Chain A
């Protein structure tokens, strides 16, 4: 079983739809959870970052973490064509000595928002 599982899609939605992107993980030591957005031919861009269970909202984006189920989600409200990109979940353990920065990534979900 891979440490982080993410449905690669592709996912295609109409403009204005609510998008739900999900990752599951097996390592209960993961404490920090991130979502990155990667446009074609660009580097990953940090979108959301959280370290606690529950919801974190930033504009049209909501990150949700359920540590008991080892499940994280990213919701995009009122999706726009400019949201079309690959979304990567990433997570890391809380550890001393600097190794807490090691990120484990999902494979990414390709999202297309159609006008």
Chain B
């Protein structure tokens, strides 16, 4: 398994601003993922972040809106740019261990 922490745990932001979410893992992992979980919805994968390469984005998500950094094997950041109220959601990072994934506690974002 893996122990994952995220910062901040929650935030309230004004529209048009940007927020960077940090994800820290207690061990080195190759693959990290960023998800969004909107109220009443299932988890939706935003992008896959591998160390040393560009993140791979899922359909409907673009790098300009959700830039991702992966500077080493234990850390990643997701930035939510130019936020609107529709970006209010829980953002989760996860890491791949064998054929499954372990999740962080999530960042609850409210955009006013």
Contacts and interface: CB of A to CB of B under 8 A. Distances in A.
Interface of A: 4, 6, 8, 32, 34, 36, 41-46, 49, 51, 88, 90, 92, 98, 100-103, 105-108
B99 A43 contact: no
Interface of B: 1, 4, 30-31, 33, 40-43, 45, 48, 50, 92, 96, 99-106, 108
Given A43-B92, A101-B31, A101-B96, A106 B102 contact: no
Binding site secondary structure of chain B: strand
A46 B42 contact: no
19 contacts: A4-B42, A34-B100, A41-B106, A41-B108, A42-B106, A43-B106, A44-B92, A46-B1, A46-B101, A90-B43, A98-B31, A98-B50, A101-B33, A101-B99, A101-B101, A102-B48, A103-B101, A107-B42, A108-B42
- Identify the interface centre among B41, B103, B108: most chain A CB within 10 Å of its CB: B103
B99 A44 contact: no
- Identify the interface centre among B4, B100, B103: most chain A CB within 10 Å of its CB: B100
A107 B41 contact: yes
Contacts of A8: 40
Nearest to A92: B99
